[in-house]
Structure 1
């Protein structure tokens, strides 16, 4: 499988694909490969069984905000599964379409894995406002 090289969003240098057990590997050995920019301490994991990145490289601050954004957003689309009895993929797609409208971002660019700190902060604000109304 060809591996598409990732570029660091902070320094624009190429990131390295590292596998469990390699020097500088930031995760547990059972996690899987990651793309990493060692000087920036930015990394992103890969989809299970692939070298395809889960999003863009992220430093500690952005990784923290991505986790907060997922913590705010994921319960909303997961509730659709319970409420409407739809599949996980259908509920998640619908959730991202809704989020796209809320943020004014094109649907094809609306994915937490590729967002900036500011966009993740907006996700948290929008999702928390919806939960407060419920």
Structure 2
């Protein structure tokens, strides 16, 4: 499998494919990989790689953006995990709400701004549907 050519959006260094243990040490999942900025840990940006293809799951993110994406995933997942929507319906809703195509509707590709927007919209739906946290 060929490694993707990715540049860090923060320092512009090349990202390199590494086993997840390079970042997560003993909490790493065997066989999992990350694209990590070549200047890691000084530049703390990385993104997961898909197991089968080793393609990046999204864009490299620093700690702040990774945290924001985690929050966005929690808010979004609540829509379908609650049973209020099926998972595919939640993705169609996200696409329509933000004018995204299916290739763009991945939280791992979102900026902090778009994560904040998604969280706010998911919170509105949760309030309207009376979903609990």
TM over 0.5: yes
- 2-structure distance, mates of 1:62, 1:20: 18
Q: What's the counterpart of residue 6 of structure 1?
A: 6
Residues of 2 paired with 1:42 and 1:129: CA distance?
31
Q: State which drifts further: 32-41 or 5-14.
A: 5-14
Q: Deviations over 1:67-118 (max 9, x none)?
A: 00000001212344xx67xxxxxx4333222112112334431210100000
- Unaligned segments of structure 2, at least 5 residues: none
1-side partners of 2:92 and 2:7: how far apart?
Answer: 27
Could you say which residue in structure 2 is the equivalent of 1:71?
Answer: 74
Aligned residues: 123
Runs of 4+ in structure 1 displaced over 6 angstroms?
Answer: none
Structure 2-normalised TM-score?
0.80
Which secondary structure does the structure 2 equivalent of 1:44 belong to? strand
Mapping for residues 14-25 of structure 1, pairs under 5 Å: 14-21=14-21, 25=22
Distance 2:28 2:128 in 1: 42
**CA RMSD of superposed structures (Å):** 2.0
TM-score (norm 1): 0.79
2:106 to 89, 111, 116: 111
What's the offset of the Cα at 1:124? 0.4
Q: Which has the higher helix share?
A: 1
Q: Work out the CA distance in 1 between the residues paired with 2:23 and 2:58.
A: 16
Q: Which runs of 5+ in 1 are unaligned?
A: 85-90
Q: Is the 8 A contact 2:4 2:56 kept in 1?
A: no
Q: CA deviation at 1:50?
A: 4.1
Match status 1:52 vs 2:55: yes
What's the CA shift for 1:126? 0.3
